[in-house]
Amino acid sequence: MSAVDQLASAHEIRERFGFWKRSYAMLIKEFIQLKRDRVSFAMIVMLPVMQLLLFGFAINTTPHNLPSAVLLQEDSDLARSVLKALENTAYFHFIYEVHDVDQFDNLLKSGKVLFGVEIPRGFERAVRRGDKPALLVAADATDPVAASAALGSLGMIVQTALAHDLYIGNPPDMPFEIRAHARYNPAANSSLNIVPGLVGTILTMTMLIFTALSVTREVERGTMEALLSMPIKPVEVMFGKIIPYVLVGFVQAFLIIGIGVVLFGVPVLGNLFLLALLSTLFITTNLSIGYTISTVVQNQLQAMQMSMMFFLPSILLSGFMFPFAGMPTWAQYVGECLPLTHYLRIVRAIMLKGATMQNLQFEALALTALMALAMVIAVTRFRRTLD
Amino acid sequence: MNAGDQIAIDVKGLTKSFGGREVVHDLSMQVKRGSIYGFLGPNGSGKTTTIRILCGLLTPDSGEGTCLGYDILRDADKIKRQVGYMTQRFSLYQDLSVRENLEFVARLYGLADARGAARDMIKRLGLSGREAQLAGELSGGWKQRLALGACTLPSPKLLLLDEPTAGVDPKARRDFWNEIHALAAEGLTVLVSTHYMDEAERCHEIAYIAYGHLLTHGTVEEVIAGSKLTTYTVTGENLNGLTAALSGEPGIDMVAPFGTSLHVSGRDVAALEASIAPWRDNSGLHWQKAAPSLEDVFIELMGRSRDNFQG
C-alpha cells in the first residue's frame, strides 16, 4: 500500500495550464499522424498549388486560336486576304478548308471547329463592284463565352486588317458585310450550355466517390478478409461493385436532363437513345476510375482526397467552366485525358445540335479507351492477399 | 488410401516477416483429417498469420506445404473453394441481414439453390425468426454462430477458426464446441486457435506457438508429459509472501496463484525440492505434489520462450 502512495507523490499532478498542455499534446499527436499519412499530407500542399496554377495559367477567358473552318466557294486573292486577316487576329485558327456545305456543317456539328467562315462565290467581283457582299461567319454558340468574344471583335478587326490592304485602296467604310450566325444557341443563353455541362460534372463527382470508397470501406470494416478468403476474382469484385452504380448514375442523368428540359427549357434535339447510350458509357468510365482509386488508396479519407484531385481538373480543364479552346495546348492535352471533356462535347452536341453517332465517334472511342485503361489498372492493382 | 489422404494440412518451414519483424519462424505442422487441432499461444504469437498463410491470404516468405492436397503457394484458388475461414474479427456485412449474408456466401460459392441453402442454415443455426435482422445488430454469441454458419455453408473440407469464441458467454461457447465436434464427426478437419485452456482440452491435438515459434505439439497428455514439469500445489496463509520468496529461486521456473492455492513448478526436480525445503515444514502451509495442468505447462513455456526470443 505504501508503494502505491510513493508512486503517486513522485508524480504530482499540476493543474496549472492543463488546458494548454493537453491541447499541445493533442496537436503534436495530430502532427505525427498527419506526417505518417503521406497522401493527406501531399493533398494539403497539392490542392492549393494546383488550384493556383490552374486558375493562374490555364484559364484564359479570352479565347484565341479557336479551331475554325473555311468554306471556300471562290479562290480569289481577296478571299485569301480576308482569311489571312482573320487568322492574324489570333482568334481564329483555320484547320479545315472545305468546298461543300455539308462538310462545313458537319465540322461545326461534331465540334471539330467552333467557327466557320463562308466566302461566297463571286465575292471579290462583288466587292470591286461595291455590292457589299455578305461574309458569313457561323459560330458554335453552345459555349457562349468562347463565341461571343470572337464574334464581338470580328467586324472591327477585319476592317482594320483590310485597311492596310492595297487591293481595294482605302475605302471609307466596310467593302463587304459580315453576317454572323451564332448557331445552336442564338440568344447566347448560358443555361443552355451549363445544364448539359452539369450532367457531366455531377455524374463525375458522384460516380467517382461511390466506387472510390468501395474497396477501402471493405478493408476498414474488416469484411475484405472474409471476401478474399472466398473464391472470388478481382474482375468479379470490380463488376459487382460497378454495375449497381451504373443504374444510380442513369437515374441521376435522367433527373438532371429532365430538370434542365422542364425548368431551363434546354432542348434535346438529338436522339434520346443515343444520349442514354453514351451517358451510360460515361457513367461506367467514371465508376471504373473511382474503383481504380479505391484499389490504390489505403483508407476512405485518402479515397475522398484522391477523388477530389481528379474532380478538380475535370471541372477546370474539361470545358465546363472555361472554354476548352481558350486553354493553352498543354492544358488541352490534359483535358483530352479526362472523360468529362469528351462527355461534355457529346452531351452538348446531342442536346443542342442534334448530333448523331457519326459526329461523335471520336468522343465515344476516347471514353471507351479511358474506361478500359482504368479497368485494367484496377484489376491488376487489386490485392488478392493481405500481404 | 495413402498417408497423404489422411493429412489435411502438411506444411514445412513457414516463415513470414512484416516490416523486418519475423512473425512466423520456420513453422512446420501436420493436421490429420477429421481431427480438431487446437492452436494456442499468447497474443501476437503468429497464430493468425499462420492461419492466413494456410488459406492463401498471405504468401509466406519461405516454406512450402499442402492444404487438402493442394500446394499452398500455387493453388490458393482451389484451397479457397474447400476451406471455410472464420476471421477473428466479425467479417460478415453488418448492414446485411442474416439471410442476405448467408445468401451472399452461398451465391459466391456458386451453390445451386442459394435461398434454400441459406434457409436450411438458418434452421440449423437456430436463427429462425431472426433471419431479417441485420447482422450488426446480433449479440456476440449469435454473430459467432452466424459466422460459423457462413463458413460451413459451402460444405468445406477444412475449417480454419481464428479465436472463434473470444468474448462469447460460457453457454454459447459450449454450444459452439458441440457444433464443432459434430462437424468433425462428419469428417471435417478443424483448426481452431484459442486462449482458453478448457477449449484446448476439447481438441484432439494441440500446438503451442509463441513469438512465431512452434514450441510443442501433440495430444494434451503428450504435451503435459513432454513438459517434464513437476508441480506442487500449496494452500495456506500468506501465499503472497511465499510467492515473493520463491520467485527466481534455483529450480523454480514458475510460481502462479490459482484461486486460493499456489502452483509452484520447475523442470529440475532436485533443485525445486531443495528450494522449497525451508518452507515444507511451515505449519501454516499445506504442500501437495500434483500433475501440472495444461495452463502450468503453457505459462511456463511462455515464460521460457520470452527469455529465449526477446533477449
Convert the pLDDT of each residue in A163-185 to its tens digit: 655 455 445 566 677 777 777 77
User: Does residue A1 belong to the interface with chain B, where contact is any CB pair within 8 Å?
Assistant: no
Residue A308: partners with Cβ closer than 8 Å, 6 or more residues away:
A43, A47
* CA distances, B159 to each of B82, B191, B192 (Å): 9, 6, 8
pTM (two decimals): 0.76
Please determine, for residue A287, whether its predicted confidence score (pLDDT) is greater than 50.
yes
DSSP B255-275: EEEETTEEEEEES-HHHHHHH
User: Does residue B288 belong to the interface with chain A, where contact is any CB pair within 8 Å?
Assistant: no
Give the range among A34-38, B2-6, B217-221 with minimum mean pLDDT. B2-6
Edge-to-edge strand list for the sheet holding B21-32: B21-32, B7-18, B62-67, B70-71
The secondary structure element, H or E, covering residue A181 is strand A177-183
User: Does residue B62 belong to the interface with chain A, where contact is any CB pair within 8 Å?
Assistant: no
Burial environment of residue B285 by CB neighbours within 10 A (0 to 12, 13 to 18, 19 or more): middle
- The beta-carbon neighbor of A223 closest among B57, B77, B91 is B91
* A 224-243: CB under 8 A from B: 224-226, 228-232
Measured in whole angstroms, the distance separating CA A74 from the mean position of its chain's CA atoms is 38
Please determine, for residue A346, whether its predicted confidence score (pLDDT) is greater than 90.
yes
User: Does residue A223 belong to the interface with chain B, where contact is any CB pair within 8 Å?
Assistant: yes
How high is the pLDDT of residue B33? Answer: 93
Please determine, for residue B48, whether its predicted confidence score (pLDDT) is greater than 90.
yes
State the average pLDDT for chain A.
79
Residue A109: partners with Cβ closer than 8 Å, 6 or more residues away:
A349, A353, A354, A355, A359
Structural domains of chain B ordered from first start = 3-221 (3.40.50.300), 228-291 (3.30.70.920)
d(CA B190, CA B165): 14
pLDDT bracket for residue A274 (50, 70, 90): very high
Please determine, for residue B206, whether its predicted confidence score (pLDDT) is greater than 90.
yes
State the average pLDDT for chain B.
88
CB atoms B85 and A226 under 8 Å: yes
Q: For residue A217, list chain B residues with Cβ-Cβ distance below 8 A.
A: none
ipTM of the prediction: 0.84
Q: What is the mean pLDDT of residues A324-342?
A: 92
Q: For residue A228, list chain B residues with Cβ-Cβ distance below 8 A.
A: 57
CB atoms B90 and A222 under 8 Å: yes
Q: How many CB pairs under 8 A join A and B?
A: 47
How high is the pLDDT of residue A209? Answer: 84
Please determine, for residue B2, whether its predicted confidence score (pLDDT) is greater than 50.
no
Residues in chain B, overall count? 311
CB atoms B77 and A228 under 8 Å: no
Q: What is the mean pLDDT of residues B169-196?
A: 91
A335 grid coordinates: 483535358
Q: Identify the residue with better confidence: B61 or A196.
A: B61
Q: For residue B83, list chain A residues with Cβ-Cβ distance below 8 A.
A: 229
pLDDT bracket for residue A324 (50, 70, 90): confident
pLDDT bracket for residue A132 (50, 70, 90): confident
How high is the pLDDT of residue A22? Answer: 57
